[in-house]
Amino acid sequence: MIGRKLVERLAKDGGMEELLLHDVVPPQAPAGARVKVRAVTSDLSTPGEAEKLVNARPDLIFHLAAIVSGEAEADFEKGYRINLDGTQRLFEAIRKVGEGYQPRVVFTSSIAVFGAPFPEAIDDQFLNAPLTSYGTQKAIGELLLSDYSRRGFFDGIGLRLPTICVRPGKPNRAASGFFSGIIREPLAGHEALLPVPRSVRHWFASPRAAIGFLLHAARLDTARLGARRNLSMPGISATVGEQIESLRKVAGDQAVRLIREEPDATIMRIVEGWPRNFAPRRALELGFRADSSFEEIIRIHIEDELGPRRA
Amino acid sequence: MIGRKLVERLAKDGGMEELLLHDVVPPQAPAGARVKVRAVTSDLSTPGEAEKLVNARPDLIFHLAAIVSGEAEADFEKGYRINLDGTQRLFEAIRKVGEGYQPRVVFTSSIAVFGAPFPEAIDDQFLNAPLTSYGTQKAIGELLLSDYSRRGFFDGIGLRLPTICVRPGKPNRAASGFFSGIIREPLAGHEALLPVPRSVRHWFASPRAAIGFLLHAARLDTARLGARRNLSMPGISATVGEQIESLRKVAGDQAVRLIREEPDATIMRIVEGWPRNFAPRRALELGFRADSSFEEIIRIHIEDELGPRRA
């Protein structure tokens, strides 16, 4: 989803020779692109595929691919194969080009690299102690990104994205899906299930803010990063209760009434291990900017996804 | 070296059915063993070798193997192959046994998982931001150890050993070699090179303390660890100047005169990124015990390595 929105934005902005899209399912070319677009479908974890992609020596690589948290937890081998082996193969393919090739690599990590117990707000020196296989795979990707960058094989930057909210489209298998569902579904007039108590606090960014992070990372002077190439992105810390009150302000009681509480112990156990709040000082100093409130996050969803229908 | 000392200790203590030794070079069977000893020579990073080792379903596995820091920095591919792929293959082989097999795995990590800038003393919540490929490989091993333990594939514990000092025998390719060399060589009447200024501070444990850590980790109730399976071990924080003054107290001026300063920019650059001091509260609470002073570290070396010759 972030990939699709990023591609739409890059295609619209132009300013590049070619946009090479890659996914394990056929990537959708953006409508009205102002640049040449080429789409490749393959499994990055298959030997040789990463080399083919890197053959064209792109100057800028966004590596967003991932099996989501719920699926990586349900299928141990698949999670490691796609999230870890796939990333390693891409990094190795870039390294092996040699000849001074040193692209900018923007890697999307996740706040799932952190695990409870947490301080009040997670700062830039807090340890990565993930409590999911997904978080482990992302944390390893971060370490590889830093080492490959330090050795000069590429110029990497890793972004720990907050949970993206409101995620458009259909629910995916991410355990975090309900954080978007309880906003998106009621706004569309559908019922949404809430599997956790309203006291659960979490860390959010809109898709629009996330695209902003990625574009900023692509342009940033990485000399300012030093050896620590991975950054926790700014976001909005809100409880589920605060999410719901924001929904009420934007869309009224009839929307809120569509949220049905249906506790799910498995999701609760996963979510309990997730971060609630951050003090992302480095990212703010480097110019990354978050949404201003959870209400704004909802309004962005309405503008960007529901705009025409509600106009 | 730690492996050899550990094996000698285990063979002497007895209390197990069989001791299976593995190394990439023929492992030396301990003299006067009170248990059956079997030695296997193979490359753990070669497909299939880890499976053979795990076939006997050992209850307790010490995984100490590693390309040292200097070599992992000099040979990128070899470092990743041995330190990362080798560890991953071992963990995978254990997982694939299945049938409820869940051995205790004691993994030696390193303080090289940490990278500057540091706080005054590194606590148990400080991030892993290694500045060497070796440190990166160890940090990834730690993450895998925690995830495989959380998933119940084995019962792992990772120990971030301080720099072992005084390391007996010949210098190896570790960039940290001089920390031992400036004590060991003068005590043997030989000249030692000092490649860094006396103000450099570092974190030490004797081989005897390190063996104590490993044996304690093998017996520890891992339920006390929670999900964070990796621990910074206690140690002694000392500057090179303090090391030298301890040597003077133990062995006099004539020993100290054998230390020759020969600055080495490469070693200095690596060492600058290394930790200087720790607050290893969790390990202390869990009963891990360090040496009492750097002088004691020197006396242990004399007792354990030079004893008969000096008697």
CB contact under 8 A, B76 and A151: yes
Q: What is residue A16's predicted lDDT score, i.e. its pLDDT? A: 87
Residue A308: pLDDT band with limits 50, 70, 90? low
Nearest CB partner across the interface for A140, out of B119, B140, B228:
B140
For A281-307, write each residue's pLDDT tens digit.
999 999 999 999 999 999 999 999 987
B122 touches chain A (CB under 8 A): no
Inter-chain contact A147–B125, Cβ cutoff 8 Å? no
CB contact under 8 A, B127 and A129: no
pLDDT tens for each residue of A22-49: 998 898 888 878 889 999 999 999 999 9
Instruction: Report how far residue A60's alpha carbon sits from residue A65's, in angstroms, rounded to the nearest whole number.
Output: 15
Which domains, from first to last, does chain A contain?
42-310 (3.40.50.720)
Q: Is A151 near chain B, with CB under 8 Å?
A: yes
Any A CB within 8 A of B150 CB = yes
The tokens describing B217, both together, are: 């980790």
Interchain proximity B150–A143, CB inside 8 Å? no
Residues A134 and A74 sit within 8 Å (Cβ to Cβ): no
Does the CB of B152 have a partner CB in chain A at under 8 Å?
no
At residue A200 the predicted structure's pLDDT band, cuts being 50, 70 and 90, is: very high
Whether the CA torsion A116, A121, A127, A132 is positive or negative: it is positive
**From the CA of A298, how many Å to the nearest CA of chain B?**
34
Chain segment A217-235, per-residue pLDDT in tens = 999 999 999 999 999 999 9
pLDDT-above-90 percentage for chain A: 82
Q: Is residue A134 annotated as a catalytic residue, yes or no?
A: yes
**Cβ–Cβ < 8 Å for B30, B11:** yes
**pTM (two decimals):** 0.94
Nearest CB among B76, B126, B143 relative to A140 is that of B143
pLDDT in tens, A42-81: 999 999 999 999 999 999 999 997 788 888 999 999 999 9
Q: Please state the φ and ψ torsions of residue B179, each to the nearest 5 degrees.
A: -60, -35
Question: Per residue of chain B (311 residues), what is the pLDDT tens digit?
Answer: 888 899 999 988 888 889 999 998 898 888 878 889 999 999 999 999 999 999 999 999 999 977 888 889 999 999 999 999 999 999 999 999 999 999 999 999 999 999 999 998 999 999 999 999 999 999 999 999 999 999 999 999 999 999 999 999 887 667 789 999 999 999 999 999 999 999 999 999 999 999 999 999 999 999 999 999 999 999 999 999 999 999 999 999 999 999 999 999 988 988 888 899 999 999 999 999 999 999 999 999 999 998 765 43
Do the Cβ atoms of B127 and A125 come within 8 Å? yes
| Closest Cα in chain A, distance from residue B131 (Å) | 7
Please report where in the chains the tokens 């009040």 appear, as a residue.
A120
Q: Using a CB cutoff of 8 Å and minimum separation of 24, what contacts does B67-71 make?
A: B67/B134, B68/B134, B68/B172, B68/B173, B68/B174, B69/B110, B69/B112, B69/B132, B69/B134, B69/B135, B69/B174, B69/B175, B69/B176, B69/B270, B70/B173, B70/B174, B70/B175, B70/B177, B70/B270, B71/B173
The pLDDT assigned to B271 comes to 86
B98 interfacial to chain A (CB closer than 8 Å): no
Residues 6 or more apart in contact with residue A99 via CB below 8 angstroms = none
Please name the member of A125, A129, A150 whose beta carbon is closest to the beta carbon of B228: A129
B87 touches chain A (CB under 8 A): no
To the nearest whole Å, the CA of A122 is away from the closest chain B CA by: 11
B112: which 2 tokens?
A: 């090289």
Q: What is the interface pTM, i.e. ipTM, of the complex?
A: 0.93
A130 neighbourhood in chain B, CB within 8 Å: 143, 146-147
